[in-house]
Amino acid sequence: MSEVLFARRPGGSPAIAALLAVGTIRRDARVLDICCGEGEDSLLLACGGLTGIVGVDNNPDCVRAAQETAKQHKLPKKTLEFRKQNVWALLKKCPSGSIDVVIDTLGARNITEDDDARPDRRGEKGERRFAVEIARVLADKGLWLAHVRDDHRNRRPYATRPASKLFPTGAADHFDLRLAYPTHLAEYAEECEACGKRKEKLEEEFALHLGEVYFAIARRKSRSKTRAGT
């Protein structure tokens, strides 16, 4: 990759934790965590009782850190596995409808701006292909939970945004897109203190790398509904 697009988060996403707490993410869900970084969200879910979680990232240092944390929590591979793997290669091998929840941390941005990506996997064409692959691997009514960077900042800070403006091109063909809301490191106040960095410094890093970041939810349309609309 030509640049780092996501600085390390000090903990799992509060949004992911909330969806787990209210049962939107089921305890028996099959989870794929794309561009998982150091595995914060996957680790949160595994410690919350989920099994069969796979986290993938192309950065070997992040994957090693995630694996080490999983060992510290004594989480077996059948519960949680972290892999250093190309996202396109992983998606290609995933059977259709085999995943219930995809967690995506700037995935579309990262893999379609990769200098080593094939031309058909870059830019808008790459985003559309990415959306199609996510739709293929997800079961009907499966969830696509995305941390998305919005380059066009609102004049009103931290305003909600239509998810259609944030998900990759073509996502609406396969997903019911929900409103997205902005994330902010104030949500991580306790974790900021725990990891030994002042919150102001983390917020500075967050803004530098990400701009305005939103958490957005999309639910996979049933395949019969998708075919009927074509």
Q: Give DSSP secondary structure letters for the chain.
A: --S---PPPSS--HHHHHHHHTTSS-TT--EEEET-TT-HHHHHHHHTT--SEEEEES-HHHHHHHHHHHHHTT--TTTEEEEE--HHHHHHHSPTT-EEEEEEESHHHHHHS-TTS-GGGSHHHHHHHHHHHHHHHEEEEEEEEEEEEESS--SSTT--B-GGGTSPTTGGGTEEE--BEE--GGGGHHHHHHTT--HHHHHHHHHHHHSEEEEEEEEEPPHHHHHHT-
Q: What are the pLDDT digits (tens) for 136-175?
A: 999 999 999 998 876 655 545 556 677 777 788 789 999 9
Can you give the pTM of this predicted structure?
0.80
Q: What are the pLDDT digits (tens) for 46-99?
A: 999 999 999 999 899 999 999 999 999 999 988 999 999 988 889 999 999 999
Domains in the chain, ordered, with CATH?
15-228 (3.40.50.150)
